[in-house]
């Protein structure tokens, strides 16, 4: 695919034809296949296997990976375009794709051995199996350096022995989940700080327990679980990247993932606009459509302004990523702004809908429930502000 940012930001709002064709294809898929079915999955807290299989057939899980590993030969910008279009209709489906690619497959692609790539990526790119990334722990959220899960190398058997737990892990307990890449303390550095490594744990490994799904406020058609590891043994060859580099590796993965979450948040914000425009044109009060009232017009105009600006932030960050330019600050800016305006747009769209906005049969009720987690997952808003300040050179503790 041709980079959307060949010589700077330029006309980032004008997509090259291949990107625009992909966007239109996924827009049609989201409205024709996802929209009619997702409400039932959501209310029943069911994972949408049928939709995920179709996304796999479309090649969406393989978008940013090379063809030699079963991918589509695209890039991260293409993935983000897809996430925005999916989230305009439903965030559970969008986060399933985002986590499957950026958290499940990307660590193996970025840091795995050639053997690991060839073993896992083809099936992950096809959407036949899902991977998950086990980072967050019950007593370790934003402070990922405080990881307590341990992995000891048993030299007699050449195996890692893993003990600990993880929480809030997306895609970790579906019928098609094949692995979880787990961060664990594998030693101590000379200064006493933990040496953190990343290790692949295949599903079904003895001692690896996946809890029942959480009862969540939102994202109810996505899979989120707590994991526990009791003397779990996996081959030493399951180490992803270098021993002791797991912390640095996951920081890179999170930097990229923030752009993806920003695109998802933009989609939710735009979906709020879509639904509000439609409702304002059809809902009548006092003998005229409610959209004829300036108060409603101003709300929708402000919602569109926020969604449009949000789109520019993630496209800028994604363009820098695919161009090989520094993007850490831009990713944090995009994630911070997009997540916060998604919450605002969801609140305002609910207000436009009045009492109907509080009814789950209307998509904006789902958007409202789904929006808040965007300010928390993949780095809270507070963490993003810390990162931005640090990148600007502001002194820190």
Q: Is 378 a catalytic residue?
A: yes
Residue identified by tokens 């004008």 is: 14
Under a CB-based contact definition with an 8 Å cutoff, are residues 360 and 282 in contact?
no
Nearest to 101 by CA among 65, 137, 73: 65
- CA 164 from chain centre, in angstroms, equals 24
- 111: CB partners within 8 A, 6+ apart: 198, 240, 241, 245, 249
**Which stretch of DSSP H or E encloses residue 289?**
strand 288-289
The active-site residue out of 325, 378, 382, 391 is: 378
- CA 86 from chain centre, in angstroms, equals 12
**Which stretch of DSSP H or E encloses residue 183?**
strand 177-188
Structural Rg of the chain based on CA atoms: 21
DSSP code of 381? H
Nearest to 251 by CA among 362, 390, 126: 390
Distance CA 130, CA 354 (A): 39
Q: Alpha helix locations (H) across 112-172?
A: 114-125
Under a CB-based contact definition with an 8 Å cutoff, are residues 295 and 352 in contact?
no
Distance CA 360, CA 42 (A): 10
Under a CB-based contact definition with an 8 Å cutoff, are residues 161 and 154 in contact?
yes
Q: Alpha helix locations (H) across 88-239?
A: 91-98, 106-111, 114-125
What are the catalytic residues?
A: 378
């Amino acid at each position: 695919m041709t980079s959307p940012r060949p010589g700077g930001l330029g006309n980032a709002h004008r997509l090259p034809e291949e990107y625009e064709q992909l966007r239109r294809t996924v827009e049609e898929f989201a409205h024709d296949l996802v929209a009619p079915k997702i409400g039932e999955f959501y209310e029943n807290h069911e994972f949408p296997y049928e939709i995920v299989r179709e996304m796999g057939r479309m090649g969406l899980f393989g978008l940013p990976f090379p063809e030699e590993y079963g991918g589509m030969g695209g890039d991260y910008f293409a993935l983000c375009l897809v996430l925005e279009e999916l989230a305009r209709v439903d965030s559970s489906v969008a986060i399933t794709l985002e986590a499957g690619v950026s958290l499940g497959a990307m660590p193996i692609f970025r840091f795995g051995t050639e053997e690991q790539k060839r073993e896992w990526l083809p099936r992950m790119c096809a959407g036949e199996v899902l991977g998950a990334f086990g980072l967050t722990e019950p007593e370790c959220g934003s402070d990922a350096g405080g990881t307590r899960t341990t992995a000891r190398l048993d030299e007699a058997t050449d195996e890692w022995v893993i003990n600990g737990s993880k929480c809030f892990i997306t895609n970790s307990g579906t019928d098609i989940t094949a692995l979880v890449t787990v961060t664990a303390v594998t030693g101590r550095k000379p200064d006493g700080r933990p040496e953190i490594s990343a290790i692949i744990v295949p599903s079904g490994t003895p001692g690896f327990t996946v809890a029942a799904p959480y009862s969540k406020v939102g994202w109810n058609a996505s899979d989120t679980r707590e994991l526990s590891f009791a003397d779990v043994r996996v081959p030493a060859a399951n180490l992803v990247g270098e021993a002791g580099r797991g912390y640095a590796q996951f920081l890179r993965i999170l930097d990229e993932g923030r752009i993806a979450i920003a695109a998802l948040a933009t989609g939710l914000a735009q979906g709020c606009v879509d639904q509000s425009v439609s409702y304002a044109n059809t809902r009548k009060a006092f003998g005229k459509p409610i959209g004829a009232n300036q108060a409603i017009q101003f709300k929708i105009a402000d919602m569109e302004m926020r969604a449009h600006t949000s789109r520019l932030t993630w496209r800028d960050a994604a363009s820098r990523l695919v161009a090989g330019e520094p993007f850490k600050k831009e990713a944090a800016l995009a994630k911070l702004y997009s997540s916060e305006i998604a919450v605002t747009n969801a609140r305002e769209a609910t207000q436009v809908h009045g009492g109907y906005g509080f009814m789950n049969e209307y998509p904006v009720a789902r958007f409202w429930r789904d929006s808040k987690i965007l300010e928390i997952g993949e780095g809270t808003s507070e963490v993003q502000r810390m990162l931005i300040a640090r990148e600007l050179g502001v002194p820190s503790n």
